Amino acid sequence: MPKLIVVEKPKSWNLHLEDVEVITPARYITDEAYQQVKNLKRNQLYFG
């Protein structure tokens, strides 16, 4: 899973870094691919 940068206007971030993805908050909230990331963070709060 790539590292995520969540911003309002990803197109204005001209990053070309390996293993980094720039996405919108809406995509982070709704895209199924990121549900696992959110669940892992939630579990770390309980057990971390």
**pLDDT per residue as tens, the chain (48 positions):** 788 899 999 999 988 899 999 999 999 888 888 877 666 555 555 554
Instruction: Evaluate whether 13 touches 7 at the Cβ level (below 8 Å).
Output: yes
Residue 16's pLDDT is 87
Question: What is the residue-wise DSSP string for 7-28?
Answer: -S-GGG-----TTEEEE-HHHH
Taken as a whole, the chain contains a residue count of 48
Residue 43's pLDDT is 54
Q: Amino acid identity, residue 25?
A: P
The residue range of the domain holding 12 is 3-47
Residue 32's pLDDT is 84
- Whether the full predicted model's pTM is greater than 0.85, yes or no, is no
Instruction: Evaluate whether 33 touches 16 at the Cβ level (below 8 Å).
Output: no
State how many domains the chain has. 1
